[in-house]
Amino acid sequence: MIKLTFLGTSDAIPTAKRNHTSILLTYKNENILIDCGEGTQRQFKKAKISPTKVTRILITHWHGDHVLGIPGLLQSLALMGYNKTLFIYGPKGTKKFFKKIFETFVFTGEKYPIEIKEVSGKFLETDEFTLNAEKMSHKTPCNAYSFIKKGQIRIDKEKLKKFKIPSIPLLKKLKQGKSITYNGKTYPSKQLTYQENPKKISFVFDTKINKKIIPFVKNSDVLISEATFSQELKELAQEYNHLTSQQAAEIAKKSKSKKLILTHISQRYEKNLDIILKEAKKVFKNTFLAKDLDVLEID
């Protein structure tokens, strides 16, 4: 199961209810933090999650509302005895900015290894998932990201019962695609297993509309997109290199995504959030508006 925790859902200026942007994606032993706006550490506390669980950080771009929480998080991890390698990924310029962070701040506590990479395309692949990046159109280098959980071979337990096959120690062979023999009869792996569908989660923050978005997020099970402006301010959105809620919905529809989650909401809509949500729903019905500390689980 994939779990998404929305730690912060505001745009550049936070509100009393919305912190700066940050999302935690949890899958098995991985806890991947997408952006780390100011106050993210405190949001971890509110969500009752230890920041020491973080294994990787994905930085979309280096505007303050997406990264000002990083120095504090790095300091806290040192004081909390973080003992893993922290992997950090970002767009062009990320190494330069981290060099400046380490030159500017005096960190105390135990040191731990940090690996920093500037990424594009498929930049990480494990046996169970891949991470991908695509350049977006913003005022500074900016990446969109996707997390794709690979479809695993699963045992059909109902068929095991049907043929009265004990589940142990034969499971390993079946998952490896090998045939098994039980009571003198051979069963091909395909007869007792099935391939689950992959799951794709896409993150699109801070970009104006561009041709790269739809191909990159195509067939997402969940598309998480900024919706900084309503459609009536589309010219302002274009000027500031952002998306409107209607544009986000059109991306979801054209990319054949299954669910759209809107985030990075401007403070101007704090008292009338329905403007953003209703506008998107007219185009893409399965749209939701994220709130701070919302949790979404994807099977």
Task: Please report, rounded to a whole number, the percentage of residues in the chain having pLDDT higher than 70.
Answer: 98
Cα separation, 114 vs 75, in Å, equals: 13
Specify the DSSP class assigned to residue 198.
P
pLDDT digits (tens, 9 = 90+) for 118-162: 999 999 999 899 999 999 999 999 999 999 999 877 777 777 777
The pLDDT, as a whole number, for residue 168 is: 62
Whether 280 has a pLDDT exceeding 90, the answer reads: yes
pLDDT digits (tens, 9 = 90+) for 91-127: 999 999 999 999 999 988 889 999 999 999 999 999 8
pLDDT digits (tens, 9 = 90+) for 165-189: 776 666 677 777 777 777 778 877 7
Q: How do beta strands 260-263 and 222-226 pair?
A: parallel
Contact 244, 276 (CB under 8 A): no
pLDDT digits (tens, 9 = 90+) for 67-99: 999 999 999 999 999 999 999 999 999 999 999
Interior CA angle at 287 toward 281 and 289, to 5°?
A: 105
- Show me where the domains of the chain are located: 2-152+196-298, 154-193
pLDDT digits (tens, 9 = 90+) for 14-50: 999 999 999 999 999 999 999 999 999 999 999 999 9
Residue type, 193: T
Q: In whole angstroms, what separates CA 277 from the centre of its chain?
A: 21
User: How many beta carbons lie within 10 A of that of residue 271, not counting itself?
Assistant: 8
Q: Return the active site residues.
A: 65
Architecture in CATH of 2-152+196-298: 4-Layer Sandwich (3.60)
Q: DSSP string of 212-272? A: THHHHHTT-SEEEEE--B-GGGHHHHHHTT--BHHHHHHHHHHTT-S-EEEE-B-GGGTT-
Cα separation, 241 vs 41, in Å, equals: 28
Cα separation, 130 vs 297, in Å, equals: 19
Query: HSE (CB half, 13 Å, CA atoms) of 180?
Result: 23
Residues 196-218: what's their mean pLDDT?
96
Contacts of 107 (CB under 8 A, 6+ apart): 74, 75, 78
Hunting for tokens 């280096």 — which residue is that?
Answer: 62
Compute the mean pLDDT over every residue in the chain, rounded to the nearest whole number: 93
pTM of the model: 0.90
